Every structure is written in C-alpha cells, then in structure tokens.
Amino acid sequence: RTGAWELCDLAVSVAREAAGLVRARRAAGIGHVATKSTETDVVTSADRAAERLITDRIRQARPADRILGEESGTHAGDSPVTWVVDPIDGTVNYVYGLGHYGVSIAARVADVTVAGVVRDIDSGAEWRAVRGGGAWRDDRRLTGSEVTDLGVALVATGFGYQPDRRARQGAVVGGLLPHIRDIRRFGSAALDLCLAAEGLVDAFYETGLNMWDYAAGGIVAEEAGLRVTGLSGEPAGAGMVLAAPAALYGPLHDRLVELHARAA
Ligand code: IPD
C-alpha cells in the first residue's frame, strides 16, 4: 500500500480509535458543552479530546504533515500532505444522544483530497475512499442513487450557525420542497455525503460548510460517481457543496441556482 492508500489506512485506524474514545465518553455522559459562534454552534470536551487524539496519532505517524482541525486550527508542517479533521461532525446529535455523528478525516495533497474516511461513531458504519480507487462502505463498493427524476428525489441538506444564513437556507428549502420527494436534515454533513454515496438519499447540498465538514464525505461521494461541486460548477467549497448523481445534478443544480438568487 503506497501513496493515497497508505494515507487512507492511517485515516481509518485513527478514526476508529477516535470513535472508540468518543463512544466511551458518551457512555459516561455528555461531558462539558460550550457554545462557539452562536447558541447553535456547540463544542464538547469529547470533540476536543478526540481531536487531540487524532492530531497526536497523525503527528506520531507523519510528523511533517500539516493538520487542519475544526477545534484546534492549523498545525504547521512542511510536507505536501494536509489532514483535514472533524472529530465529531454532528455535535448537536452527540449532545442530544440522537446518533448520526461521525469522525471525519481527509488527506489532501496540493489542494486535492486524495483519501477520506467517515465513521459513524454510534453505529460503527464506516465509509472510505481513495482518489481513483473507489468509495467503499466496509467491503461494498458504492455507486450512488439510480434515481433520474428530481420529482422523486430524497435530498439531504443542513443549516449553518448564523441566523441570517439560516433564514436564507430555509427560504431555499421552502422553494425546493414542491419539486422533490422530500428533504432530510440529519445533522452531519460528513455522514449525509456518505448516505448520498450509498444511495440512501439521492443527493445532498448545503451552503457555508467548512472544509472539515465535507472533505472526507466529498471524496466518498465523488468516488461513488456523484458530481460534487459548488453552485457554479466550481470545486465544492464554503459557498456550496452539491453532491448528486449525474442524472439529478443538472436539474437540482439549476433549481438551486434560481432559489439562491431569489433568497440572496
Ligand atoms: C455541522 C454539521 C451539520 C451542518 C453544519 C455543520 P459540526 O458540523 O455537519 O449537519 O448542517 O453546517 O457545521 O459543527 O457538528 O461539526
């Protein structure tokens, strides 16, 4: 195993260990909960402990790599590899004990994600992908949804933390609902992208995500054959992450462009 496969193997083993830590902590109670930018933006002591474990393990294995973590910012390094880490994506679900929160770890080289793993901490389900090597849930290769008609598509989305953004996101969802089968808001963008990769939802979109929310799930969706872009076809980013199988991408993209222009 060399290159991106090696990075993927490391991400998988570190994600498993971090998930074990978070599960053990959750079993003992929620731990300390604090808010960040707004009341909806929460962080717990488990997020911090899991991120510390992940960064420690990556540094032990690959001391020169850079690390970008949700809770601790950037760790410098002079290797071309940058790890993008979300210790608990779906922290609100974690706090409420709802399930559906995951560890997300991606490896990027020259601004391109080359490997990623997302592990559902509660259920133990695990999705991983290597650029050019496919997307997998355990040993099953993923190929996304076969739905071709937007009218019967189940679309996952999420909402950010800033009140004005949430109001615009709500307006866009309101405009989309009459044109799709239904909306799901599960609470973890990383896992939602994996559900889209697996075809358990037909597509996913969200505005205003941070890279740690979508880097690993994004490569899983891409390697499952979905188109993963921003709103104008550019690479997925903070502006928009839209992931859809080829047949749904065009109509969903066009509808979202129109609704975002109206909500702006
Ligand atoms: C959040 C989740 C949520 C999405 C938010 C994210 P966090 O990440 O992915 O589904 O709608 O935009 O910030 O804060 O739980 O790591």
**In the chain, which residues have pLDDT < 50?**
none
Q: Please give the share of the chain, as a percent, with pLDDT higher than 90.
A: 87
Question: How far away, in angstroms, is 47 Cα from ligand 1 center?
Answer: 13
Angle at 131 between CA 187 and CA 145, to 5 degrees: 50
> Do 3-141 and 150-263 fold alike per CATH?
no
Q: Where are the domains of the chain?
A: 3-141, 150-263
Q: Which of 33, 213, 240 to mutate to test the pocket of ligand 1 (most atoms within 8 A of CB)?
A: 213
Instruction: Quote the tokens at residue 97.
Output: 């004990």
Q: How far does the chain reach from its first CA to its final CA, in angstroms?
A: 47
150-263 to CATH, choices 3.40.50.300, 3.40.190.80, 3.40.630.30, 3.30.365.10 = 3.40.190.80
Amino acid at 69: G
State whether residue 34 is helix, strand or coil.
strand
pLDDT of residue 94: 94
Which residues approach ligand 1 with their CB closer than 6 A? 70, 86, 89-91, 158-160, 187-189, 206, 209, 213
Spatial distance between the Cα atoms of 242 and 59, rounded to a whole number of angstroms:
32
Count H helices, E strands: the chain?
7, 15
CATH of domain 3-141: 3.30.540.10
1 CA → ligand 1 middle, Å = 32
What is the crossing angle of helices 211-223 and 189-198, to 10°? 10
144-195 confidence digits (pLDDT tens):
999 999 999 999 999 999 999 999 999 999 999 999 999 999 999 999 999 9
